């Protein structure tokens, strides 16, 4: 990671896939920053003050100005710290940029929320329905990858890009779902291209620098589920 900058701060919880997105973008752009860690189950005054509309993490604070919503933050980082020596996170071609945004919206609308529905599910039926929805979404992503990105290492081309960050940020939560909830989501037989894509994603240097090992997420996932079950 680059040297910490006093002008750049990120507010969030390490295990949040949405926070991971911002951290990946900062790492990929070589931006040093101070990570202001939130406490699980609580919202700091800084978070509430910095994002009074949604009161959610992550929040990027740059030069005293706040930027909210994970993929907006990713785009902001890509544009502000534009470096010709590093690939752009968002495609430069207008159509490819629109396509990347489309798939990112799909991921946030039809896939990522279901991971947490599975973990929170109180009944086997609710868990099964959410799991079926998540698998169906992954299969649609598999079809989209085949149609638009086949032959490329990533959705972003030959390097991790906008869609890769959106989808890859939740991969550890797939492991949580599998270990804690006994639900299989990413199946090599059903989504072989995404399965191979995930292997390439984990091999990326920025990913390895930012995302902790699976066991740490599984431990957090057990705590998260216990807290949800106790409500």
Alpha-carbon gap, residue 15 to 34, rounded angstroms: 17
Question: Is residue 75 located within the same domain as residue 99?
Answer: no
Number of domains in the chain: 2
Residue 33 lies in a domain: yes
| Domain of residue 66, residue span | 8-80
Instruction: State the CATH number of the domain containing residue 200.
Output: 1.20.1050.10
63 burial level (CB within 10 Å; 0-12, 13-18, 19+): exposed
Per-residue pLDDT tens digits of the chain, which is 231 residues long: 566 677 999 999 999 999 999 999 999 999 999 999 999 999 999 999 999 999 999 999 999 999 999 999 999 999 999 977 888 999 999 999 999 999 999 999 999 999 999 999 999 999 999 999 999 999 999 999 999 998 899 998 999 999 999 999 999 999 999 999 999 999 999 999 999 999 999 999 999 999 999 999 999 999 999 999 998
- List helix spans (H) across the chain: 17-28, 45-50, 70-80, 94-106, 112-120, 124-149, 162-168, 171-181, 192-203, 205-210, 214-229
């Amino acid at each position: 990671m680059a040297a910490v900058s006093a002008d750049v701060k990120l507010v969030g919880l390490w295990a949040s896939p949405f926070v991971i997105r911002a951290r990946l973008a900062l790492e990929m752009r070589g931006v040093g920053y101070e990570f202001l860690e939130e406490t699980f189950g609580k919202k700091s005054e800084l978070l509430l003050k910095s994002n009074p509309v949604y009161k959610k993490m992550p929040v990027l604070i740059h030069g005293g100005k706040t930027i909210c919503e994970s993929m907006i933050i990713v785009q902001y980082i890509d544009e502000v710290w534009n470096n010709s020596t590093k690939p752009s996170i968002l495609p430069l071609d207008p159509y490819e940029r629109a396509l990347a945004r489309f798939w990112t919206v799909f991921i946030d609308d039809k896939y990522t929320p279901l991971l947490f529905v599975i973990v929170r599910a109180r009944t086997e039926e609710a868990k099964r329905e959410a799991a079926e929805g998540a698998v169906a979404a992954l299969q649609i992503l598999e079809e989209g990858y085949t149609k638009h990105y086949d032959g490329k290492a990533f959705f972003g081309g030959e390097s991790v890009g906008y869609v890769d960050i959106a989808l890859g940020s939740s991969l550890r939560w797939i492991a949580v779902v599998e270990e804690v909830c006994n639900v299989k989501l990413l199946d090599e037989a059903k989504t072989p291209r995404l399965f191979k894509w995930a292997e390439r994603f984990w091999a990326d240097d920025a990913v390895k620098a930012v995302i902790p090992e699976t066991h740490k997420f599984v431990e957090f996932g057990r705590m998260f589920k216990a807290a949800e079950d106790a409500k």
